[in-house]
Amino acid sequence: MNSARTPFLFGAVVGSGLTAKAADSAGANYLLALNAGRFRVQGASSLTSFLPVRPANDWVMEFAERELLGRCTAPIYAGYSVSDPQIDLDDLIEKTVALGFAGICNFPSVSLIDGRLGALMESEGLGFSREVDLAERATAAGLKTFAYVQTNKQARRMVDAGAGAICVNVGFTSGATGVSTHLTLEAAAARIDRVLDGVPSDIDKLCHGGPITSPEDALTVMRMCSVQGLVAGSTLDKIPLENTLSEVTKGFTAIPNLARRSRRDERGNEALIGGSSVMQQIKEELDALAHDDLPILITGETGTGKSLAASRVHAMGPKAHRKSVVVDCPAVTELDGDVYLLGLGAGARAGSASQRGALEQAADSTLILEDVAALSLGHQGKLLKFVDEGLVQRIGEHSTRAISARVVSTAMSEDVLLAENGLFRHDLYYRLSGHVIELPPLRDRIDDIADLISHFGRKLQGGEEPVFTNAALRVLFEHSWPGNLRELRNAVSRAVRISQGKTIGLKEVEFLNRNRKPEEVPAAIVTASQKPGEVQSERDWIASALARNGFRRAQTAQDLGMTTRTLYNKIKRYGLQE
């Protein structure tokens, strides 16, 4: 085969008629019938090719004769192991010719076995020298040789033995096979060049394995070294086949979730979108409470839509004609929080005019206290007076003003407010929690995910609903969503952006799998009490995001879909800055 005629050489390791025909029709230059390929199509690792699990040579001849030979246009090479001292090489060559193979290939090659075992194989005369011997006999019999090598010396010996193609084996294929390699593509290219140094130009030069696991990797390596092509094994069949099977299967298994999808009630606010029974119940509860005057405490993990639920209470109630007042409690600082909450009397501070505080502004409306647990004890005391007696006293004034306002508070959980650490006044808790509604985390209502992503997608695309493959939806269903609706909204936004208007498949939601790698959370901020498999807390979720974003707060806040200030407060609250 001449490289001038063929700018890129492709060798396909085949283990079945199916793979061989597909590779042949796609233009493969070499078809290598290897026991490794056969093992892969049977669901085992190609590394099994070294084990005494099948008689390698007989097996290759058997499946090649039955499924490959005479059925493909590309030359077919038989992969042989000659480590067995009882093999008669001449007999092997004779059978190869008789069956109609174009040539032989030294695989599984002993050169891949390192350490003392490999050295012992060589010293016993069962190593690479015996493979060279096979190549010489093949050449003498008119067969071609496709030679796997690992060193320059091996390459030269195989050229001397008459090999027409030299393939640098860069090691066992890494990536999805589970094998790890220390080689980068650059290092692999450098090694390939060293091995191929001095190999004549009329010999085809290919490479296989190591970190080269995709056509893109092959292109990168080819640009960096003198190799002309690639041999693909697990990257040709196992990995793509497994991915395809996985995608198709997930497409089918997503059907139960999709079948339950409901278009009901999509006009409501997004926190309450979904037809799951738990959300239906909560919606009914909120709507019933909207016309009541009881203080409401809404709890739930971060991103479950507590603020939106609070807004719904206001919007559905009799005071909806007035604007609600929202107090972001983590943002209420010790320094100016009093003025912000209570307001300022005229002349209370040098040259200051009178000013209404947030509590006063909520008169005849609804006061929504977001993340109320973040209020300082001092501010809690002032709020207690307001909630208890409906009185507000501006800073610098001696008189109080009676204010009537509905109070709706939100918090991560009741436990935070009832903790015995003295950070939250229990008397205030009892006044704020006239009725408690707990919003479920998204992972507990996956039936609603399809409706939610449809809603978010339409908002992002001006009313046009993005199309998700079933497999991509399945990934969304399986994700644990520690950031709940906020995380889902960001994920949909990211997937829509990546897809550029096309169908959203597995690739577009792959970042969700990457993000949930536990090792990304630094050990220093993993709590000792966290048990394996335990649902991730907000603290862990934030810690993980910080680590993922190189501890850059602005970037982390953007990633988590919250303001930098909110993130900073949460970092402080959870002690993550230490």
Partner 1 sequence: MQIFCTQVASGGRNKFNKYQCVRLACRGHNSQDVRNIRNLLPIVGIFFLYCGMTQIRMTGHASSRAESASVLYCPSLVGLTAVQADLAIVMPRLDHNRKLRETPCQGRWAAILACDPFGSEAALFRDLASLGYTGLANWPSTILLDGETRQAMSTIPATPEHEYAALARAQDAGWDTLAFFRSLDQAREALSAGLRQLVLHPGLLDADSNANSAMITAALNRLCHAVRTEMPGVEIRLFSSDWHDRFVAADDLSVDGIVRLETGL
Least gap, CB of 49 to partner 1 (angstroms): 6
SS3 388: helix
123 interacts with partner 1 by CB under 8 A: yes
Which of 124, 292, 364, 388 is close enough to bind partner 1 by CB under 8 A? 124
Which of 86, 399, 421, 529 is close enough to bind partner 1 by CB under 8 A? 86
| Start-end of H helices in 291-418 | 306-316, 337-342, 358-361, 377-389, 414-418
- Taking a C-beta distance cutoff of 8 angstroms, is the pair 77, 104 a contact? yes
Least gap, CB of 117 to partner 1 (angstroms): 6
Binding-site size for partner 1 (CB under 8 A) equals 40
Least gap, CB of 219 to partner 1 (angstroms): 25
How far does the chain reach from its first CA to its final CA, in angstroms? 64
Of the candidates 81, 174, 94, 92, the residue with the CA atom closest to the CA atom of residue 130: 81
Residue 273's φ and ψ, nearest 5 degrees, are -70, 140
CA distance linking residue 142 with residue 129, whole number of Å: 20
Which of 18, 97, 120, 418 is close enough to bind partner 1 by CB under 8 A? 120
555 interacts with partner 1 by CB under 8 A: no
Of 53-61, 272-280, 386-394, 486-494, the segment contacting partner 1 by CB under 8 A is: 53-61
Of 115-123, 324-332, 458-466, 503-511, the segment contacting partner 1 by CB under 8 A is: 115-123
C-alpha angle 521/524/301, rounded to 5°? 55
CA distance linking residue 100 with residue 307, whole number of Å: 74
Pairing verdict, β 401-402 and 391-392: antiparallel
118 interacts with partner 1 by CB under 8 A: yes
Least gap, CB of 79 to partner 1 (angstroms): 10
CB nearer to partner 1: pick between 172 and 456: 172
88 interacts with partner 1 by CB under 8 A: no
CA distance linking residue 57 with residue 87, whole number of Å: 10
- Taking a C-beta distance cutoff of 8 angstroms, is the pair 248, 471 a contact? yes
Which of 1, 41, 44, 190 is close enough to bind partner 1 by CB under 8 A? 44
Distance of CA 480 to the CA centre of its chain: 12
CB nearer to partner 1: pick between 178 and 256: 178
SS3 404: coil
Which of 89, 112, 326, 436 is close enough to bind partner 1 by CB under 8 A? 112
Neighbour tally for 210: CB within 10 Å? 26
The DSSP call for residue 522 is: -
CA distance linking residue 475 with residue 533, whole number of Å: 18
81 interacts with partner 1 by CB under 8 A: yes
Of 120-128, 196-204, 378-386, 536-544, the segment contacting partner 1 by CB under 8 A is: 120-128
CB nearer to partner 1: pick between 33 and 271: 33
91 interacts with partner 1 by CB under 8 A: no
326 interacts with partner 1 by CB under 8 A: no
399 interacts with partner 1 by CB under 8 A: no
Which of 121, 241, 391, 547 is close enough to bind partner 1 by CB under 8 A? 121
Distance of CA 388 to the CA centre of its chain: 49
Region 156-215 residues binding partner 1, contact defined as CB under 8 A: 171-172, 177-180
CA distance linking residue 311 with residue 294, whole number of Å: 15
In the complex, the residues that contact partner 1 under the rule CB under 8 A are: 35, 42, 44-45, 47-56, 81, 83-87, 108, 110, 112-118, 120-121, 123-124, 126, 171-172, 177-180
